[in-house]
């Protein structure tokens, strides 16, 4: 797992808030979904970094030691030149809508997963009535778009060094949002499958809410600072500001993806690595006594590789205040998130810096009791979804 956001943005809040009742009456308990291959044009400026290549498990550990050794060059010092990106990437996405339109059917949520997962983080297949955020959102009447970030799941897996970087990922998220806002998401994509015989038409949403988890929240926050008018509100989970020291990648061991599982990760070339054991996943994502072992096994089953370029570009990604973004933001974090706040998130929220970065927003921090970093696979996931959806409802979203 990553240094996560470098010195630019990392942390956790220390305010705990109780959900004030359930969200509004559900529009429906069923969903209609369509799987899409979305061509997303990207123009971005990446960098080339001097980084150890990762072509084996030995290389993966050597890379970890190299980038965490205090006397070695920083990410900025490793830059040797620019990489101009001007190409179209194929992104796998799933759009789910209520089977019957209600008051919130024209509000679209766009959800971005974090490192180590794909879009199934938001649509957990084990006990989906309890763990699927997609189901919870659709049940309350929202439409929701989830997607596999570049280099994960069923999306394109390009060069892990120069292409899978944060500037590219920001433009992909912005591109998906622009397509959805234009009402041309489906018509611009190839339909791969549908959940029923019913055709889902293109709909132009009146409002868009961005939802992120961990590194996905980091990408959302960066997008808001660059394209603030694309969003009407945001839920940033497992992502907050604190003055605590960072936990770096040395705490979480990786294997070279193709060597770790030659069949499952056959498409992944040099520079892609994956968290190597269930114990590593537990330390990073879970809280003892607050998860079902079945969900730990499931997380191991669906875990996704990460790219060298993602980590390198964290060190050169910085924030400007999101001056154009005026929507509400909920900062939703686990009370005992080991990765974000060294195991205890109480009383460490950096309110001043957060308000500086989002000057036009109503910011509401929340701690989900007895929960770790991966909120959607914790035993109280469904209770957390109620808090999230109530927050949106209370803010007119």
Q: How many distinct structural domains can be found in the chain?
A: 1
Residue with tokens 């892609």: 272
Q: Is residue 102 part of a domain?
A: yes
Closest CA to 179 of 89, 103, 243: 89
Q: Is residue 11 part of a domain?
A: no
| Domain around 40 | 31-394
Residue range 52-108, pLDDT digits in tens: 999 999 999 999 999 999 999 999 999 999 999 999 999 999 999 998 888 898 999
Residue 246's pLDDT band, with cuts at 50, 70 and 90, is confident
Residue with tokens 């070339």: 269
Task: Round to whole Å and give the CA distance between 12 and 244.
Answer: 9
Residue with tokens 């220390």: 14
Q: Is residue 197 part of a domain?
A: yes
Residue range 350-379, pLDDT digits in tens: 999 999 999 999 999 999 999 999 999 999
The answer to whether residues 181 and 231 touch, using CB atoms and an 8 Å cutoff, is no
Q: Identify any residues that bridge with 44 across adjacent strands, giving them in sequence order.
A: 85
Arithmetic mean of pLDDT over the chain: 91
Q: Is residue 3 part of a domain?
A: no
Q: Identify any residues that bridge with 263 across adjacent strands, giving them in sequence order.
A: none
Q: Is residue 160 part of a domain?
A: yes
Closest CA to 46 of 168, 144, 225: 168
Residue 47 sits in a domain whose CATH number is 3.40.50.1820
The answer to whether residues 208 and 100 touch, using CB atoms and an 8 Å cutoff, is no
Task: Round to whole Å and give the CA distance between 135 and 149.
Answer: 21
pLDDT at residue 19 tops 50 = no
Q: pTM of the full predicted structure?
A: 0.92
Task: Round to whole Å and give the CA distance between 208 and 144.
Answer: 9
DSSP single-letter state for residue 319: -
Q: What is the dihedral of CA 367, 232, 322, 43, to 10 degrees?
A: 120
Residue 3's pLDDT band, with cuts at 50, 70 and 90, is very low
Q: Is residue 342 part of a domain?
A: yes
Lookup: tokens for 71 = 């006397």
Ranking 8-12, 180-184, 192-196 by mean pLDDT, the lowest is 8-12
Q: Is 392 left (phi over 0), alpha (psi -120 to 50) or beta?
A: alpha
Q: Is residue 305 part of a domain?
A: yes
Question: What is the predicted pLDDT for the residue at 74?
Answer: 94
- CA quadruple 177, 182, 183, 189: dihedral sign: negative
pLDDT at residue 1 tops 80 = no
* Helix, strand counts (H, E) of the chain: 12, 12
Q: Is 358 helix (H, G, I), strand (E, B) or coil?
A: coil
Lookup: tokens for 224 = 């808001």
Closest CA to 395 of 321, 324, 323, 330: 330
Q: Is residue 8 part of a domain?
A: no
pLDDT at residue 18 tops 80 = no
Question: What is the predicted pLDDT for the residue at 14?
Answer: 32
């Amino acid at each position: 797992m990553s240094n996560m956001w470098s010195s630019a943005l990392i942390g956790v809040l220390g305010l705990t808030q109780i959900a004030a009742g359930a969200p509004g009456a559900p529009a429906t308990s069923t969903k209609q979904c369509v799987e899409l291959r979305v061509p997303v044009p990207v123009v971005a400026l990446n960098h080339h970094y001097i980084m150890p290549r990762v072509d084996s498990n030995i290389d993966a550990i050597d890379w970890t030691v190299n980038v965490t050794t205090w006397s070695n060059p920083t990410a900025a010092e490793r830059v040797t030149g620019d990489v101009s990106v001007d190409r179209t990437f194929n992104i796998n996405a799933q759009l789910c809508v209520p089977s019957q339109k209600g008051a919130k059917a024209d509000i679209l949520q766009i959800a971005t997963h974090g490192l180590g997962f794909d879009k199934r983080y938001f649509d957990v297949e084990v006990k989906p009535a309890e763990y699927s955020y997609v189901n919870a959102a659709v049940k309350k009447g929202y439409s929701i778009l989830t997607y596999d970030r570049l280099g994960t799941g069923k999306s394109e897996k390009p060069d892990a060094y120069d292409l899978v970087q944060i500037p590219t990922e920001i433009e992909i998220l912005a591109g998906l949002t622009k397509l959805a806002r234009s009402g041309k998401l489906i018509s611009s994509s190839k339909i791969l499958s549908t959940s029923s015989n019913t055709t889902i038409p293109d709909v132009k949403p009146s409002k868009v809410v961005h939802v992120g988890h961990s590194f996905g929240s980091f990408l959302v926050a960066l997008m808001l600072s660059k394209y603030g008018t694309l969003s009407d509100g945001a839920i940033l989970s497992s992502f907050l500001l604190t003055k605590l020291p960072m936990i770096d990648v040395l705490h979480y061991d990786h294997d070279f993806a193709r060597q770790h599982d030659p069949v499952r990760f056959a498409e992944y070339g040099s520079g892609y690595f994956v968290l190597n054991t269930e114990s590593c996943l537990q330390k990073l994502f879970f809280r003892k006594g607050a998860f079902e072992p079945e969900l730990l096994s499931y997380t191991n089953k669906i875990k996704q590789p990460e790219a060298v370029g993602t980590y390198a570009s964290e060190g050169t990604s910085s924030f400007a205040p999101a001056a154009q973004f005026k929507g509400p933001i909920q900062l939703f974090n686990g009370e005992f998130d080991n990765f974000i706040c060294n195991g205890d998130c109480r009383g460490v929220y950096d309110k001043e810096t957060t308000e500086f970065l989002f000057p036009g927003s109503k910011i509401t921090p929340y701690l989900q009791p007895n929960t770790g970093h991966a909120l959607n696979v914790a035993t109280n996931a469904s209770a957390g979804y109620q808090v999230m959806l109530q927050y949106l409802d209370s803010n007119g979203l």
